[in-house]
Structure 1
Amino acid sequence: MRFQTPLIRARLIRRYKRFLSDMELEDGREVTAHCPNPGSMLGMAEPGAECWLEPNDDPKKKLKFSWKLVAQGAGDFAVVDTAIANRVVGEALRAGKVPDLTGYDSVRAEVPYGKASRIDFLLSGAAGEALVEVKSVTLARNGWAEFPDSVTKRGAKHLAELAEAAQAGRRAVMLFLVSRSDVARVRVAGDIDPAYASAFDAARAAGVEMLALGTRIGPAGVTAAGPAQVDPGLQSGAASGHSRSS
């Protein structure tokens, strides 16, 4: 996935009201940029951080910049825009670049299923059918990418619906996209959301496949970079935080 407009460098002054951020451009101008991320952005929104913005000249848009990336040092980046994850995964699925999800001729996005929900991707073809839910993982601690970065009842609901599908005999997949380039393994942040960790355990026990993809990230764009490791141990002891091995 390539950015439609070349990104420009900026420095974060502050993020506020969830969807707004004040930035200082390299020429010294201060601008307000859209922050397309409703999450906590834990560890990604520190004042002074190097950010990358996508400018636009759309007269219908009040804000002329959108915050896309934040630098993580040594040439690494994390993706701010949560919508990018599905675009990256969609491109990878259609190109047959997700090793565990090949053999499907059709890749449909946003297909209704479950209880008034939509699955991110429904795959079908000679390999049968697969339901694929995508989560963008941006939190990093102790060498792991961790999800979620805040309490997510919606995320737990998605896991429960995937579990129901798996128990009904359908192939159900939770695909974590590591939306940062400095880590390549994923685990559940049970200390942040114990309920999500419990739902994760229950879903995996019900037969939901837990997969992860790494990414290549830069100001030009974001692409999938092959499989990433998912913590093989169930997270039922998540309430104890990080006492499990790291």
Structure 2
Amino acid sequence: MKYKNITYAKFLERKNRFVAHVGLGGKVETVHVKNTGRCKELLLPGSQVVIVKTDNPARKTQYDLIAIYKDGLGWVNIDSQAPNQVVKEWLNKSPALFKNITLLKQEYTYGKSRIDFYLECGSRKILIEVKGCTLEIDGVGYFPDAPTERGVKHLYELADAVSKGYECYIAFVITMPRVRKVLPNVKTHPEFGKALEAAMKAGVQVLYLPCNVSPDELSIAKMVISS
């Protein structure tokens, strides 16, 4: 996926989950943060950020904050909508694991959840739940960076789906360079770690999807299946 109308700015402060202040052209600009996670290790005063101008003149904030430069790592895309978009683009290219897709649906209702993707490859019925990873510690990715009851529920739904004949995956889209693996952030949300372990024991497979990241572009570089 590629962004249009990007601008570089300097991060100043985050006012709440949705709004931040950046320095732009000698002025303070209020921008929308496209990620409700904590991002504390990224959103540091003085950091270089990328913002995208919207095409809606009626919006209160005219820019979306979509990427941050982290010293020692590089550009990190924090747009929470981007992981699903790049997975859709990746699936449309028929990756080896999902050859001959005959049906592809987004926001598929299963149980009491909406799973990001449902696809059919011949007789295979496949569910894929996507999680974007932006938290890096010592070269390893961690998810989540804030408690996610929704994420826990998705894992148990996937485990149940395996028992009913579905082929199920949780896909961690790693929206930062040089990170190839994601571990559960049990310090922040131990329940997610327990749910992931239970899901894997039930047969849910884990995919790591490292990305190519630049200020204005994001794409999946490769696929790694957890062993």
Q: TM-score, normalised by structure 2?
A: 0.94
Tell me if the contact between 1:18 and 1:35 (Cα under 8 Å) persists in the aligned partners.
yes
- 2:140 — aligned with what? 144
Structure-1 residue corresponding to 2:11: 12
2:31 is aligned, of 30, 33, 49, to 33
Contact 1:175 1:212 in 2 (8 A): yes
Q: How far off its partner does 1:125 sit? A: 2.7
Q: 2:99 aligns with which of 95, 99, 102?
A: 102
- Report the RMSD for the aligned CA atoms in angstroms: 1.5
Distance in 1 (CA, whole Å) between partners of 2:218 and 2:146 is 24
Q: Distance in 2 between matches of 1:153 and 1:74?
A: 32
**Contact preservation (8 Å) 2:124, 2:166:** no
2:167 to 171, 175, 180: 171
Unmatched 5+ residue regions in structure 1?
A: 233-246
Aligned-pair CA distance for 1:60: 2.4
Contact preservation (8 Å) 2:98, 2:121 = no
Contact 1:136 1:176 in 2 (8 A): yes
Give CA deviations for 1:20-63 in whole Å, capped at 9, x if unaligned: 010001x2121000001111113111111110000124222111
The correspondence of residues 111-126 of structure 1 with structure 2, limited to 5 A, is: 111-115=108-112, 117-126=113-122
Alignment-mate amino acid for residue 141 of structure 1: I
Q: Is the 8 A contact 1:92 1:224 kept in 2?
A: yes
- For 2:51, the equivalent position in structure 1 comes to 53
Whether contact under 8 Å (2:8, 2:48) holds in the other structure is: yes
In the TM superposition, structure 1's runs of 4+ consecutive aligned residues that sit over 4 Å from their partners are none
Q: 1:73 to 1:101 in 2, by over 3 A?
A: farther
- Tell me, in whole angstroms, the C-alpha distance in 2 between the residues paired with 1:188 and 1:204: 12
- Give the conservation status (yes or no) of the 8 Å contact 1:6–1:219: no
What is residue 235 of structure 1 aligned with on the other side? none
1:210-229 alignment runs, 5 A limit? 210-228=206-224
Structure 2 residue matching 1:226: 3-state secondary structure: coil
Matched, 1:159 2:155: yes
Q: What CA distance in whole angstroms lies between the structure 1 residues aligned with 2:9 and 2:21?
A: 10
- Using a 3 Å threshold, how does the CA distance of structure 1 residues 106 and 43 change in structure 2: closer, same or farther? same
Q: Distance in 2 between matches of 1:164 and 1:110?
A: 18
With normalisation by structure 1, the TM-score equals 0.87
Further displaced range: 70-79 or 166-175: 70-79
> Where does residue 70 of structure 1 map in the other structure?
68
Q: How many residue pairs are counted as aligned between the two chains?
A: 227
